[in-house]
Chains A and B, each alone.
Chain A
Amino acid sequence: MQAQVSRTIRLTLPPVRWNRTGWRTVRLPTYFLLGLVLLELGTRAVGGRFERYAPDDYAERVAGCVAVRPNLLVVGGSPVAEGIDPAHLKGLTRNGTPLDSVYALGLSGATSTDVYHAVLRAAPMPPKLIVYGLTATDWNDARNEPHGTYSLMTGDDVVTCRSIRPDAAGWVTRHYLEGRLARVSAVFRLRNGIRLWAAVQADAIWPGCAPEALREAREQSAYGDALRAGVGYAPAAWFVHRRYDRAKAAGDPGPPFGFLDKYRTGSHLKYVDKLVAWGKAHQTEVILLDMPVTADLEARYASAFADYRSRLAAVEASGVPVIRATREAVGLGDEDFADVVHLNGGGAAKLSAWLRARLAGDRP
């Protein structure tokens, strides 16, 4: 009997007596937690000034798109963010309908899964036309974008995603929870903005004390302003002015590219079907735009592009319109790219003008 009793796990609350000794035990942690709460409240109250230096580009672009309420929405990953200038598309008439407001919702790193959820969040008023600019990277199931999971998805979206894409169920759940957890604290979420804001303040008092942080603060601030004020085209100076042909000749082809490694398709692709279905349900025409990439990238990942193009052909055969913006069709060379996959300023202007002509001339 005695042995049985000793094996019973007993859970008890610690015997804290609320006398002076009990209070002394917990008072420092209590004041510590109180201090954290005060800091949290203070940060939330003035969070805007920190957010200016650390814009969440997914959230800013979605908010910008909601504000513009475009009737032409160009959506996609970073090739769209850097390669489509909505200014060239504004005012085009398609099938007799003028598309006078345009927004480019280019989300760096986004896959088709992220693009679908971005459209859900950014288009409460469904546009007349959605052009989804995509390339092989959008359908690579070996990669997922954590930013999209916690920035664009709701709890319901996660549940749906788990059933549609069982291969990514664990990953999506973990990153969604991690992202939500990280956003519980404004101090933690805005830590980079606070650091850059402090660098600006410190520089005002002591010029030159943190030059790198100050430069970063200015860049981030300008980027944030461009995202909020514009129509989604806010390329970094690096992309606008860099020329892939010259960089390649100088032996600097750009940062390493691993977005097509371990290429396999099928899972993200299901969200293209969902996007098309969403378009039909909302009387929104959905067109897929096969974005141009450099010949070097296509050669390096020949089998990945072959797989992607056969999938794209199958989607087209199912009745989804596809525009193929090949380098030859648009008239692009290495001089129009910033790196292997992104267009530079000149290339973006060429592609956007070409796309305007195609959209204006196309018939469903």
Chain B
Amino acid sequence: VIFTTKAFLIFLPVVLVGYHLLAGRAWKFRFLLLASWTFYALCSPRYLWVILLLTAVDFVVARRIEDAPDPRRKKRWLVLSVAANLGLLAGFKYAPFACDTVTSLARLAGADVPDRAWSLLLPLGISFHTFQGIGYTIDVYTGRTRAVRSFVDYALFVAFFPQLAAGPIVRAAEFLPQMVTPPKVSASQVSDGLHLVLIGLAKKLFIADWLDQLVVSPVFGDPAAWDPAAHRWAALAWAVQIYCDFSGYSDIACGLAKWFGFELPLNFNLPYLATSIADFWRRWHLSFSTWLRDYLYFPLGGSRCGPVRADANLLLVFVLCGLWHGAAWNWVAYGLLHGLAMIAHRTFDHAVKGIAWADRLRATIAWQILGWAATMAVHVAGLVIVRMPTWGAGFAILQSFVPDGSSGSLLGGLPIWVPLLIGMGMTGHLAALFPRGYVKGSHEVFAVMKGLAYAGLVAVLSCFGPGVGKSFIYIQF
């Protein structure tokens, strides 16, 4: 029932009409909660109990934390919530990885251990709603938010279907105040929602899925069959694909939420214009990066402790960030790479900050471009690491970025559509580089033009999409 399926085209209108026909806050929210649980049950029928259990645990725990008379009891309840969420997350997501790692180590030690004969299907959105639940109980523990007294309200905060499968990871302080009164849908929410949903679908169905079909899957599937130019295009295409896939999902989620009168937080802010790795993480998957900052990095001491400890904190946070994405050594390496890059950036920043000539140099456009290139190099290298079929193949793909003097075709045998699709995927970023000179108005003619343009976009997606339904990448995390 995920957004790009035919079933969702039936599910969404039914829920929208039902929600807006029902009168009163209580019935609207009950209906929306039922719809969200139905959505979950349709996507992940075996695991409905997971979200129900964690919702009940976190709801009760938050109330107990608030009602507990002393800090020790509060802490015990908080530990229960964190343990329940992380326990289930670890059980489903990391148990197979841990088993494989132990098997490999045992074999290295000479033991004859058979391959793992079992596998686990990941419950829908478990990486997202567990973090949402932990964030909520920590917020209640620290007094940043009050415990919710209505189970329906809390359950809807966790299970709200637009953001259930792949975020954004919503904070209680952002969502729950919107539930005090039944949200009214404004004119701008209707039009912005339509815009976001269609742009999100275009990013996913047209750009991300075509790039995957034309270049990313073929080249990463068999890198030896392609020349260095194709490797370079595949790495760039993969970077654009994952951005369009995930930001497309986030756009659709935000757009759908608007049609129910809710606002979800921004998840991306032109990440491919970042001029440093720290800047990149202030623009990429914001709801997750700020979650790590507020609920992990700061409690560990952040940068207020000594430089060595601060660097260790950074490295730990980014390794865990990598592991959150996927239970595999590739993702650990991804986290290490980003963590080391952050440490290098932080160290350099501290070393030169306040030196007049260095500050002037760092303010120049040339330096910004250099910073952008270095940031993109780290990002693309990280993405190659997580997509490569083998370490050797990944090394070969990364090596293609190093000039070796050989001449080959510009596209390496790939269709001309590849650079065009990459350019289209970056249209929003490119537009942001120029002063905002476009006319934004509420005149009737703009509404007519927008409406017709959106209809044209639907036709284009219908006719020119690859036609093979592919899952959103981040749903697998």
Contact = CB atoms under 8 A, between A and B. Distances in A.
Interface string B437-477: 00000101001101111111011001110010000000000
Interface in A29-43: 29-36, 38-39
Interface string A183-196: 00001100110110
A22 B361 CA distance: 54
A10 interface: yes
A27 B446 CA distance: 11
Interface string A1-19: 0000010011111100000
A34 B451 contact: yes
Interface string B114-136: 00000000000000000000000
B21 interface: yes
B416 interface: yes
A59 interface: no
A39 B194 contact: no
B194 A28 contact: yes
Contacts of B27: 9-10
A191 B464 CA distance: 8
B104 interface: no
A38 B455 contact: yes
A36 B21 contact: no
Contacts, number: 85
Interface residues of A, number: 32
- Tell me whether chain B's interface is mostly helix, strand or loop, or mixed: helix
A209 interface: yes
Contacts of B187: 21, 24-25, 27
B462 A187 contact: yes
Nearest to A25: B187
A314 interface: no
B332 to A, nearest CB: 39
B424 interface: no
A209 B442 CA distance: 40
A67 interface: no
Contact of B194 (A14, A24, A29, A36): A29
Contacts of A33: 451, 455
A35 B454 contact: yes
Contacts of A14: 20-21
B399 interface: no
A28 B459 CA distance: 17
A32 B20 contact: no
Given A10-B23, A187-B463, A209 B416 contact: yes
Given A11-B21, A12-B21, A32 B451 contact: yes
B463 A29 contact: no
A10 B194 contact: no
B447 A191 contact: no
A121 B200 CA distance: 43
Nearest to B9: A181
A26 interface: yes
Given A10-B24, A198-B463, A209-B416, A25 B185 contact: yes
A154 B151 CA distance: 49
Contacts of A11: 21-23
Given A6-B26, A13-B21, 18 more contacts: A10-B22, A12-B22, A24-B442, A25-B185, A25-B186, A28-B190, A28-B454, A29-B194, A30-B451, A31-B450, A32-B450, A34-B451, A34-B452, A34-B455, A35-B454, A35-B455, A187-B462, A198-B464
16 contacts: A6-B26, A9-B22, A11-B22, A11-B23, A12-B22, A27-B444, A27-B451, A28-B451, A31-B448, A32-B450, A34-B451, A35-B454, A35-B456, A39-B455, A187-B459, A191-B463
Closest A-B pairs by Cβ, 8 of them: A31-B451, A35-B455, A24-B187, A35-B452, A10-B23, A28-B191, A25-B187, A32-B451
